[in-house]
Structure 1
Amino acid sequence: MLELDHIAVLGETLEEAVHVVEDALGLPMMHGGTHERFGTHNMLLGMAPLLYIEAIACDPAAPPPPDPRWFGLDDFKGPARLDKWICRVPDLDAALRALPMAGRRVELSRGVLRWAMAVPQNGQLPFDGMFPALIQWHDDVPPPGKSMTGAPVQLQSLTVRHPDAQALEALLKPHLQAPLVGFETADKAGLAARITVNDEVCLL
């Protein structure tokens, strides 16, 4: 079963991605860290219910990774924007048997956090990047969505837009348990999040 874990704002630089989040929500993001395996770095912001927002970009201080970066970051261009959604699964191998287009299993860690991620060989998720990335957190410590609580930020809805949104929804429907996620047919692929901060509606 796929459950919404977090959403990601991508940028050509981390500063640009962080600015988009902080400008939209009026709250500072927290230090995340680096991902040596894919040469990226991030910052985070907790969000109810047990979710979080990630700002992520290529790390200019990191050596090039051995293969394409996750989230299609090697080819990301233009303004920083909400561009990816990530779903957690209890068993990544089982999820990949059901949805092999999600990619290959890659084991990752940062500090005390350990997780496995499905990453396509070319770094590009299907449906122009609108297919969810799949993650399985290992149980050593609480993942960010559970540890970063207390921020007055609440996700109200996440809309996945794509010219073939109906096909994407049909593909995911047997596996997806994410009532805040909706699908909308649109000319251009993209994501839109409706978020409240202290009961004030913000759009990301």
Structure 2
Amino acid sequence: MTGAATAVDHLVVAAATLEQGVAWCEATLGVTPGPGGRHALMGTHNRLLNLGSAAFPHSYLEIIAIDPEAPPPERPRWFGLDEPALQARIAQTPALVHVVARSAMLDMHRWGLITVGHQPGDPVKAGRDTPAGRLEWQILLRPDGTLLCGGALPTLIQWSGPHPTQAMPDSGLALQALSLHGLPPRAREVLRLRGVAHREEGPALSAVIRTPTGEVTLHSAA
């Protein structure tokens, strides 16, 4: 099945704590992340950075961690944050774990993935208040919270109103390239993910980010 294209919405870096994530960002990318917020639905909180570039407009970096002040959610947290293996890995240092792709036709892309043998999850409505106004979106979440294809199959999101990058200042960063390993060809055909390269080996995700001091490449686990 071939349908409308999707676009890179944001990269997900998981951290054991948000403070650890901020320190990692300053040391690795040379900038302090901007404000984020809390996700009551998932018991997580984040910090954000604009990554918009000509190749990947309206893209950003999300540094996310379990919110110690939030009650445990009624379902597994997104992006595999509850998995012991990931928790052990990010206890040492934050890590790139996933990419979220933006769709204007979420239901069509969901059924397209199901048709080619992938179960991307069910649409879940979420939102949070920000100083610039409320953000609302639908996101496909699996009941078990796991990521497919080692994280290379993007989680799909559809924004219901303003995109968060509209209120983000220039961070001095720009996403230059993103490549994936492990996304099957039929899933690629469904998503038609703009600007993304596909490799036959290596880590599930590799992202090249232009920073004030040069290019930095982030890798997920192989």
Q: Same fold (TM over 0.5)?
A: yes
CA distance change for structure 1 residues 200 and 177 in 2, over 3 Å: closer, same or farther?
same
Preserved CA contact (<8 Å) 1:9 1:21: no
CA distance change for structure 1 residues 85 and 169 in 2, over 3 Å: closer, same or farther?
farther
- List structure 1 segments (4+ residues) > 4 angstroms apart after TM superposition: none
Tell me the residue number matched to 2:106: 92
Tell me the residue number matched to 1:152: 172
Q: CA deviation at 1:176?
A: 1.8
Which residue identity is paired with 1:110? R
Aligned ranges for residues 98-137 of structure 1 at < 5 Å?
A: 98-100=112-114, 101-111=119-129, 112-137=134-159
Deviation string 1:155-190 (CA, Å, 9 cap, x unpaired) is 1111223xxx2x5244223422321x2222336x43
Q: Give the CA RMSD over aligned residues.
A: 1.8
TM-score by length of 1: 0.88
Preserved CA contact (<8 Å) 1:41 1:57: yes
Tell me the residue number matched to 1:7: 11
Are positions 1:18 and 2:22 aligned together?
yes
Unaligned 5+ runs, structure 1: none
1:58 to 63, 66, 71: 66
Aligned residue pair count? 196
Tell me the residue number matched to 2:37: 33
Deviation string 1:131-159 (CA, Å, 9 cap, x unpaired) is 101000002xx212333242221111112
TM-score by length of 2: 0.82
Which residue identity is paired with 1:132? P
Q: State how far apart, in whole Å, the 2-side matches of 1:60 and 1:109 are.
A: 19
Q: State how far apart, in whole Å, the 2-side matches of 1:12 and 1:182 are.
A: 29
CA distance change for structure 1 residues 195 and 169 in 2, over 3 Å: closer, same or farther?
farther
Preserved CA contact (<8 Å) 2:17 2:66: yes
Preserved CA contact (<8 Å) 2:178 2:206: yes
Tell me the residue number matched to 1:69: 77
CA distance change for structure 1 residues 154 and 107 in 2, over 3 Å: closer, same or farther?
same
Q: CA deviation at 1:68?
A: 0.7
CA distance change for structure 1 residues 105 and 174 in 2, over 3 Å: closer, same or farther?
closer
Q: CA deviation at 1:58?
A: 0.9
Q: State how far apart, in whole Å, the 1-side matches of 2:18 and 2:200 are.
A: 30
Unaligned 5+ runs, structure 2: none
Which residue identity is paired with 1:119? L
Q: State how far apart, in whole Å, the 2-side matches of 1:107 and 1:40 are.
A: 16
Preserved CA contact (<8 Å) 1:46 1:144: no
Which residue identity is paired with 1:96? R
Q: CA deviation at 1:201?
A: 1.2
